[in-house]
Amino acid sequence: LIAVIFGMVGCVQTTSLQTESLERVSMGASMGVHDVSCTRIRESIAQQLSKLDIPYEWRDKNEGMLSVGPFVEDIGSANTYSRIRQSYYLEITCSDELTTSISGDAILEGLGKTGQWVWINDPVTIEKHSMWFLQRLDL
């Protein structure tokens, strides 16, 4: 039996990046996975990202620090942005061998009607896209 729990975090937190000109913001969403080994979850995330052709890099595999992206998704012209460029900085934490939590920060940019990429700092938009991203991990 596998249990997956999605959570939403109501606060927004920003920290400045040394390597990026934009600020990371809390994803506003998290995921908990129970009854599956933490090692298997980490391997599954990497496999799913590869399958989706989304770039990723382990910043510290032992600590569960994973950088994902950037990758671009078309979301349609009816929205404020026609495309969203996304980068995630995940923390995959093992409470014990069979309990894993996934949370982290995000950088989202939207392609506006003027053709310029615009930093997105709206918590609702960030939470929505972060939740979609976590669901695509198919855990």
Span 13-55, pLDDT tens digits:
333 333 357 899 999 999 999 999 989 999 999 999 999 999 9
Number of domains the chain is built from: 1
Which residues, in sequence order, are CB contacts of 130 under 8 Å at separation 6+? 27, 28, 29, 88, 106
Backbone angles phi, psi at 62, to 5 degrees: -60, -35
Structural domain boundaries enclosing 31? 3-136
> What is the structure's pLDDT at 8?
46
Instruction: Give me the CATH number covering residue 100.
Output: 3.30.530.50
Which residues, in sequence order, are CB contacts of 42 under 8 Å at separation 6+? 61, 64, 92, 100
> What is the structure's pLDDT at 96?
87
Q: How confident is the model at residue 77 (pLDDT cuts 50, 70, 90)?
A: low
Answering whether pTM is above 0.85, one says no
Distance CA 43, CA 118 (A): 33
Strand partners, 107: 87
Say what the alpha-carbon torsion angle 22, 28, 32, 38 is, to the nearest 10 degrees. Answer: 10
